[in-house]
Amino acid sequence: MWVLLLIPTCAAAVLSCLRLVRVAAIADALVEHLPAADRATGIGLYETAYLAGGPARVVDLALVRMAGLGRLHLAHTGWTTVVDPLDRGRLERALITAIGPEGQCRTAQLKAALATHPTVRDIGDRLALAGLATPAALRDRARRAVGHVRYALLTAVAMLLVTVVLNADGRSARTAVAWYALPLVLTGGTLLMARVDVHAYTAWAAPAGQHLLRALGRPHLCRAGAADDLLTAVAMRGPEAVQDPRLRAALIHR
């Protein structure tokens, strides 16, 4: 009986591990072919926000910046209202357009719509071409591949427990444990390998971008005015960096 459970468990483990290894090889090849000069490209606050937290972080930064300049009102009740409809750039134009002609909308809906806007995607594309951001397709494949291996590991554990419970005979249980060690070791070892070779590609920032973020996070590089400090903190850490409780509540309101 337990052999019938072992066969699909091993098949799932092998296939998921092969998929993860293939993704790791693709990621390594991509990094090797990135021009060294592009990796040193300087970045602004919106680029920093993308590397640190993806499209959602870019939107949070835009909202905080425009609210700080008095162009938007962010209510802690979850509504965003346009105060100054004149845009000063592509991202602000996209944000005001996403709010709609009435000049007011739910903040959560606005953030979801703007995060997928071409203007925000263009930031990620430019950073990916510079070797600083993980290409969206590669990041999605890496996350899915790691998730499949993790699922295969949990399945192997669950099937082993079922087998042990169904086989009261101690000898049969020991035999099952010995065989189930194969998918357990395979998936567990592959996940450990992924922590070194693949985990970096599940983040928004590629290894070069992560190195740049660590450099930008050094205290001596963040000595500016209070407004600049707030924007830098939001770009690096998100809404949690906002000290004003009402503004922070407005950003995280669902």
Q: What confidence tens digit (pLDDT) does each residue in 161-208 have?
A: 888 777 766 677 778 788 888 999 999 999 888 887 787 788 888 888
Using the predicted structure, report yes or no on whether residue 224 has a pLDDT greater than 70. no
Q: For position 139, what pLDDT does the model report? A: 85
Q: For position 220, what pLDDT does the model report? A: 38
For residues 240 and 18, what is the distance between their CA atoms, to the nearest angstrom? Answer: 39
Closest by alpha carbon to 236, among 253, 218, 220?
A: 218
pTM, two decimals, is: 0.76
For residues 206 and 190, what is the distance between their CA atoms, to the nearest angstrom? Answer: 21
Confidence of residue 160 (pLDDT cuts 50, 70, 90): confident
Closest by alpha carbon to 55, among 163, 1, 127, 146?
A: 127
Using the predicted structure, report yes or no on whether residue 40 has a pLDDT greater than 70. no
Q: For position 34, what pLDDT does the model report? A: 57
For residues 104 and 193, what is the distance between their CA atoms, to the nearest angstrom? Answer: 48
Rounded to 5°, angle at Cα 45 from 42 and 51: 75
Beta strands in 93-145 (DSSP E): 104-106
